[in-house]
Structure 1
Amino acid sequence: MAEWQEFRGGVNIVRRQGDVVHRPTSPAASAIHRLLRHLHDRGFHGAPEPRGFDADGNELLTFLDGEVHDALTPNLRTVELLASAAALLLGLHDASLTFRPLPEDRWLFPARQPAEVMCHGDAAQYNCVVKSGVAVGFIDFDTAHPGPRVWDVAYAVYRFAPLQGPDNPESFGTPQEQGRRVAAFCRAYGASVGAEVIDVVPDRLQALIDFMREQDAQGNEAFQRHIAEGHSDLYEADIRYVRAHRDTLHAAFQAE
């Protein structure tokens, strides 16, 4: 029998045995498994495949082979990774178009209107599986929820461009360079998402801050730790940064 491997994420501890991952079950697990099955049935294989639940109540998912990085190291700041992540997100969204949420589904994040697609909810480098410098899959669908395309793209460009100020340790590039990377991501994504995404980023980050504070108030230790470590302070600083450089970021789209 294959040996167990343990991985610690920002919220969960997951274990892998062979090609199956065992993860703590969230209230949204049954809805997420239906979504993942739907994506695979529609030909999108850049997501784990659901395999039910184990005797301890953990959810079972297939393991996606590749590397996952907490931060965009210099060798990952390529056009290839940026464009492939955008194409992967587009494929996920398009495959979800015919998914029909049920009234009893319990999504971690609230549905947002217009509910055009199923959003991943946390499309970032730390949830992106990479092989040979190309994004091949997204993992951790705990925050999936119905919403508009641009809502999901906004968080992705925040992480992949990135749209972060110099005080954020994950930030790199000037506002002009970041704007060009946002524009490149949107071109690769297509589907009529353009410069308006820049104005959605602050709202998307504020929604995340609000969620973190709600979880903190409810006694969620993971989010209490995140707030204590200053994560929400960084998001607030990045909101100010994006708003301060709005014109420069928008100009990157006009220069195409």
Structure 2
Amino acid sequence: MTERQEFHGGVNVVHRHGDVVHRPASPAAPAIHRLLDHLHDQGFHGAPEARGFDAEGNEVLTFLDGEVHNALTPQLRTPELLTSAAVLLRRLHDATVTFRPRPDDRWLFPARQPAEVMCHGDAAQYNCVVKDGVAVGLIDFDAAHPGPRVWDVAYAVYRFAPLQGPDNPESFGTPQQQARRVAAFCRAYGPGVGAEVIDAVPERLQALLDLMRAQAAQGNEAFQQHIADGHTDLYEADIRYVRAHRDVLRAAFDAR
């Protein structure tokens, strides 16, 4: 009997059938499938493989074996997970350097200059596949779009450091501890991203706020619910938090 499971994400309901998953296809799905094909052609296997669409129009993707956690529990706040997530994101970015977007591609986020790589767009623990405490894959490429490396790293450190204020239920650590985790993430990621990531975080979160409100205004019920649940309030508070602690957060890069 084929295994069938249902998963509820932040926006989509995903159904697993054995070694593949069926999930609602976004307008960006054709471009995303080309991107996934490109990643595997380049030898990056930490992302699902695209298997087309089912009879109901859902996209079909291979299932990545491992655990996905909605929150960074104390057991996941390890240097191993932090640095392996950074290395995984670096490998993803490097594999996309030769990907060529098309003028008619419909990305959720607009392309951002300089378009150095294809950003995952939502590199966070809830899209990170973990095995034995190490990040081995990234799922849910719905927010993928062309952009600079630092743009994607900014959201990743916001989630993994995390760069969140004490009023955010997902936050942990002092600003100094968070700063050291940001610096460690960027050090593991490698050349191309440094202390400027701190200034990119508020801008990246503002872009997310703008997207959420635009999608909600267009009738997207998932984003309407996110706003009703207070997600935008948390992002705005975290923007203020990062700006207020900018000097402390950047100092960790000088200390390394």
1:67 and 2:67 are equivalent in the alignment: yes
1:232 and 2:232 are equivalent in the alignment: yes
Runs of 4+ with deviation above 6 angstroms: none
Deviation (angstroms), 1:191: 2.4
Deviation (angstroms), 1:4: 1.2
**Is the CA contact (8 Å cut-off) linking 2:48 and 2:61 kept in structure 1?**
yes
What amino acid sits opposite 2:251 in the alignment?
A: A
CA–CA distance in 2 between the matches of 1:217 and 1:114?
29
Q: 5+ residue gaps in structure 1?
A: none
* Pairs aligned (count): 256
For residue 106 of structure 1, what is the aligned residue in structure 2?
Answer: 106
For residue 31 of structure 2, what is the aligned residue in structure 1?
Answer: 31
Deviation (angstroms), 1:133: 0.2
For residue 201 of structure 2, what is the aligned residue in structure 1?
Answer: 201
Secondary structure (helix, strand or coil) at the match of 2:135 reads strand
CA–CA distance in 2 between the matches of 1:210 and 1:105?
20
What amino acid sits opposite 2:192 in the alignment?
A: S
CA–CA distance in 2 between the matches of 1:160 and 1:237?
17
Deviation (angstroms), 1:47: 0.3
Deviation (angstroms), 1:101: 0.4
Secondary structure (helix, strand or coil) at the match of 1:146 reads strand
Q: 5+ residue gaps in structure 2?
A: none
For residue 222 of structure 2, what is the aligned residue in structure 1?
Answer: 222
For residue 12 of structure 2, what is the aligned residue in structure 1?
Answer: 12
CA–CA distance in 2 between the matches of 1:132 and 1:4?
24
**Is the CA contact (8 Å cut-off) linking 2:149 and 2:192 kept in structure 1?**
no
For residue 189 of structure 1, what is the aligned residue in structure 2?
Answer: 189
Deviation (angstroms), 1:3: 2.7
Deviation (angstroms), 1:216: 1.0
1:165 and 2:165 are equivalent in the alignment: yes
User: How is 1:136-155 mapped onto 2 (pairs within 5 angstroms)?
Assistant: 136-155=136-155
Secondary structure (helix, strand or coil) at the match of 1:136 reads strand
CA–CA distance in 2 between the matches of 1:14 and 1:113?
32
For residue 43 of structure 2, what is the aligned residue in structure 1?
Answer: 43
What amino acid sits opposite 1:150 in the alignment?
A: V
TM-score by length of 1: 0.99
Deviation (angstroms), 1:192: 2.0
TM-score by length of 2: 0.99
